[in-house]
A = this chain, B = another copy of it.
Amino acid sequence: MSEGVEWALHTCVNLAWVGRPVGSARLAAFYGLPPAYLNKRLQNLVRAGILTSVPGPKGGFALARDPASISLLDVVTAIEGPDPAFRCTGILGDSPWGDKTADHPSTCAIAAAMRRAELAWRRELAGQTIADVCATVERRAPGEPERTRRWFG
């Protein structure tokens, strides 16, 4: 998984706290990230409907919806794409009695087992939201939202 996932998740948490548009250079400066690379990841989040890009002098990136309706799976999928980690290429179809026309990703016992694991991973990520992460941090560090808002000015 690319570093972009870590950047995107942390940036969504910051935007949830700040509550108004912030430019990508400022978002990048918070962690000392390369602005152009972060900007590309933020564009991925805009295309996925997680962020909006607000034009104008007070513009920037902002959450497009309630942080309680943005799951970690939404963010990971926006950055990494929807493909599963394990891709069945259907090598069973190339075996001596293989049927190349069969739908191996659906029928192969190995593909099914790998898919069950992938679903367990997705289910876990789908059950956790940006709001959940914010709440966890705020329990440990109640001043974090205010401190973050102040820094972003």
A residues whose Cβ falls under 8 Å from a Cβ of B: 1, 3, 5-7, 9-10, 13, 30-33, 72, 85-89, 91-92, 94-97, 109-110, 112-114, 116-118, 120-125, 128, 132-133, 136-137, 147, 151
Contact = CB atoms under 8 A, between A and B. Distances in A.
Q: Is the interface of A mostly helix, strand, loop or mixed?
A: helix
Given A30-B95, A95-B30, A125 B133 contact: no
A83 to B, nearest CB: 10
B147 A6 contact: no
A153 to B, nearest CB: 12
A31 B95 contact: yes
A117 B10 CA distance: 17
